Structures are given as structure tokens and as C-alpha cells.
């Protein structure tokens, strides 16, 4: 009953709890406008970056974010983790550390920072990130050339500085540092190149290393996934030995109430097929189709055919504004 009641509440900057492959039932906190990021990764499941920047500012009002978190917690909100994630790079928000501090001070739920690590060269970012229980950073390249090819960074970002500052942060961080290695077939998956990435990861010294690949529609069509067998053959190159991030299974979400809002929250986080939604919430496909139909008719989601499968994703606020403007112009 608690989850069902909570999900009826509308928030501007919180989403979920939604199923996460890494973090079970995760409440997301979105601190940036859609696709505001320091990178434009070819594999990003949210599509291409529309605002590539390294400018740090208060992109969304911190006081409102904290008010929403307080409201959610006071209503007996349940989640396995609370994650700063969502539409862009959370460390671009100048007060993200205050959000982490609030979670740590007002909840027993672990606070997670999902970051690409690009802003850790700034001392104030490293200090703020120290407030998290877990920090997830990323590494999918081995030098500046591969960095620009795979991650397409902002012009001010340098790969050697990224590695150095991740090392510095790992030394001072008292929580768990997790590292995600995103591998793309034919791009950064040759064993010799993966070994270079693994050597750098070992220098940084994360507590856990997780391998990921483009199992959902990426920003670029040429970013194709590795097979599970191929991924397994690469895990021993890493120290500690890497784990493969598996698809989230239905039993992990057994007490998340499936309804139109929970499905929309999930699609705001990542594109999914109807089969994947049915698997996560343990629903019949006919029931999933009913909810998807309503969300499409109300303009909240869209569908796209990719690699012989239909994926559904949430329509961003910016897209809604653009579409409304087009409609007015044609009247």
C-alpha cells in the first residue's frame, strides 16, 4: 500500500522507485535538464547530448528537490537506493552535495552518485561526492583519441586529467567506488584495447568493476552490443574481476506496484520494449499494452523501431514544448 500511495504523488525532480540492474528498486533524483552533460557518448540510451557543457550551476532549484525528498520520505517511501541520476550529469549541479547530505542525514537508504567522473578534477566536486555512500564513475577509453571517439567529451576535457583525478578521488573516498566499463563491438572491445582500459582501472582502484554494453537503443546506430559470451571472456582482464551487469529480473520488483505512473517513471529512465516491461513488473503483455496505449495517446511516450524491436521512451519536456509550438503554428 505504501508504494502504491507514493506513486500517486507527482514530483518534478524525483522518479520511481524504478527497477535498476545495479541498484534494485532505485528512487532517482534528476538534477539537470534533459541531456545536459559533459559527454556525448555514442552508446547513451538517452540519445545524443543536446547541451554539452562543463558549466556548473544550480540547474534545478535545490530547495524544491529537498522538499520533494522530504515529502517522499515522510510518506514511508521505500527503496533500495536513492540515486542522483536521470537526464544528464548530476555533478554539473553546483549544489548536488547538499542533496547527498540531506539523504544521508534524513534516511537510512544508501545515497548513490551516478557520474561520468568528468568533473572530479574540481576539488569542490570531489568534496561533495564524498557525501555519497556509493559513487559510480565511468571508463570506456584508454587515451585521448579513444576518449574522443567513444565519449565525445566537451573540448575542455582531457583524458589524462580524468584518470589522475579519479585516482585522487579513490584515495580520499570513504565509501564504495564502482566503475562501469561500457564496451561496444568493434569500437573498444578488442582484447588488447580492453586490457589497456583494465590497466587504467587497476591504477584507479575501484571496489567493483562492471561491464556493460548497448543492450538498449544507443545514441548512434553503429554502437552495437557485445554478446554475453564475449563479455564473459573479458571479465578476467580486470582487477578486481569484472562482473557483467545483467538485465533486471521480475522478482526484484515484486513489491513495486505496476501502474501507468510506474511504467512512465521507468521509461523516463531508459527505453524499453513491451516484453521488458512485462518481465520487470511480472505483468501480462496485454496489460502492458493497455498502459502503453494510454501513455502514447496522451503524448507522454513515443515508440521507435530499432533493430527489429519496438522500444518505448518518455517524451521530454523540451520535446513537448517544441511539439506544442508546432501545433500552434499550423492552426
As a whole-number percent, the residues of the chain with pLDDT over 90 amount to: 53
The CATH code of the domain that includes 265 is 1.10.10.10
DSSP 5-63: HHHTS--SSEEEEEEETTTEEEEEEE-SSTTEES---TT-TT-S-SEE----B-SS-HH
Question: Does position 329 have pLDDT exceeding 60, yes or no?
Answer: no
Of 201, 223, 251, the one marking the end of a domain is 251
In whole angstroms, how far apart are CA 235 and each of 39, 199, 230, 241?
26, 13, 9, 6
The mean pLDDT of the chain is 85
As a whole-number percent, the residues of the chain with pLDDT over 70 amount to: 86
Q: Are residues 152 and 48 in the same domain?
A: yes
* Mean pLDDT of the region 191-209: 95
**Predicted local distance difference test score (pLDDT) of residue 47:** 79
Q: Are residues 149 and 184 in the same domain?
A: yes
Contacts of 275-281 with CB under 8 Å at 24 or more apart are 276/247, 277/312, 279/247, 279/249, 279/250, 280/19, 280/248, 280/249, 280/250, 280/253, 281/250, 281/253, 281/256
**pTM score, two decimals?**
0.77
* Mean pLDDT of the region 182-205: 94
pLDDT of 45-96, one tens digit each?
Answer: 777 898 999 999 999 999 999 999 999 999 867 889 999 987 789 999 999 9
Q: Are residues 47 and 180 in the same domain?
A: yes
Of 251, 277, 302, the one marking the end of a domain is 251
Asked if 179 and 213 count as a contact pair (C-beta separation under 8 A), the reply is no
Q: Are residues 208 and 79 in the same domain?
A: yes
Confidence of residue 282 (pLDDT cuts 50, 70, 90): low
What range does the domain containing 321 cover?
A: 258-330
Q: Are residues 266 and 238 in the same domain?
A: no
* Mean pLDDT of the region 123-152: 96
pLDDT of 14-35, one tens digit each?
Answer: 887 776 767 778 888 999 988 8
Q: Grid coordinates 564496451 are at which residue?
A: 183
Q: Are residues 245 and 275 in the same domain?
A: no
Q: Are residues 108 and 41 in the same domain?
A: yes
Q: Are residues 19 and 59 in the same domain?
A: yes
Q: Are residues 166 and 36 in the same domain?
A: yes
Of 232, 251, 270, the one marking the end of a domain is 251
The CATH code of the domain that includes 78 is 3.20.20.70
Which region among 119-133, 291-305, 306-320 has the lowest average model confidence (pLDDT)?
306-320
Please give the Cα distance from 259 to 217 (Å, whole number).
24
**Predicted local distance difference test score (pLDDT) of residue 160:** 95
Q: Are residues 47 and 109 in the same domain?
A: yes
Q: Are residues 184 and 286 in the same domain?
A: no
The total of structural domains in the chain comes to 2
Confidence of residue 268 (pLDDT cuts 50, 70, 90): confident
Q: Are residues 240 and 306 in the same domain?
A: no
Amino acid at each position: 500500500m505504501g508504494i502504491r500511495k507514493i506513486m500517486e504523488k507527482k514530483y518534478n525532480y524525483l522518479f520511481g522507485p524504478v527497477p535498476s540492474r545495479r541498484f534494485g528498486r532505485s528512487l532517482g533524483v534528476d538534477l539537470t535538464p534533459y541531456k545536459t552533460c559533459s559527454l556525448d557518448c555514442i552508446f547513451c540510451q538517452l540519445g545524443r547530448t543536446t547541451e554539452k557543457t562543463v558549466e556548473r550551476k544550480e540547474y534545478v532549484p535545490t530547495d524544491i528537490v529537498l522538499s520533494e525528498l522530504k515529502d517522499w520520505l515522510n510518506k514511508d517511501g521505500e527503496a533500495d537506493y536513492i540515486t542522483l541520476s536521470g537526464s544528464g550529469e548530476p555533478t554539473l549541479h553546483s549544489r548536488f552535495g547538499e542533496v547527498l547530505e540531506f539523504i544521508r542525514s534524513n534516511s537510512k537508504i544508501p545515497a548513490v552518485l551516478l557520474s561520468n567522473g568528468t568533473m572530479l578534477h574540481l576539488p569542490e566536486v570531489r568534496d561533495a561526492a564524498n557525501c555519497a555512500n556509493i559513487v559510480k564513475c565511468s571508463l570506456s577509453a584508454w587515451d585521448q583519441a579513444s576518449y574522443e571517439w567513444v565519449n565525445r567529451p566537451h573540448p575542455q576535457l582531457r583524458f589524462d586529467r580524468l584518470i589522475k583525478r579519479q585516482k585522487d578521488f579513490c584515495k580520499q573516498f570513504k565509501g564504495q567506488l564502482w566503475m562501469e566499463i561500457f564496451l561496444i563491438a568493434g569500437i573498444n572491445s578488442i582484447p588488447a584495447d580492453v586490457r589497456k582500459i583494465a590497466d587504467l582501472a587497476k591504477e584507479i582502484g575501484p571496489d567493483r568493476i562492471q561491464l556493460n554494453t548497448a543492450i538498449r537503443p544507443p545514441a548512434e546506430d553503429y554502437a552495437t552490443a557485445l554478446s554475453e559470451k564475449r563479455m564473459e571472456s573479458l571479465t578476467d582482464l580486470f582487477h578486481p574481476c569484472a562482473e557483467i551487469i545483467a538485465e533486471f529480473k521480475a522478482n526484484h520488483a515484486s513489491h513495486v506496484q505496476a501502474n501507468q505512473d510506474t511504467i512512465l517513471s521507468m521509461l523516463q529512465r531508459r527505453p524499453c520494449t513491451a516484453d521488458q516491461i512485462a518481465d520487470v513488473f511480472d505483468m501480462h503483455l496485454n496489460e502492458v499494452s493497455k498502459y502503453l496505449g494510454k501513455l502514447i495517446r496522451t503524448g507522454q511516450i513515443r515508440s521507435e523501431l530499432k533493430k527489429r524491436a519496438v522500444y518505448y521512451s518518455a517524451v521530454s519536456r523540451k520535446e513537448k514544448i517544441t511539439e506544442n509550438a508546432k501545433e500552434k503554428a499550423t492552426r
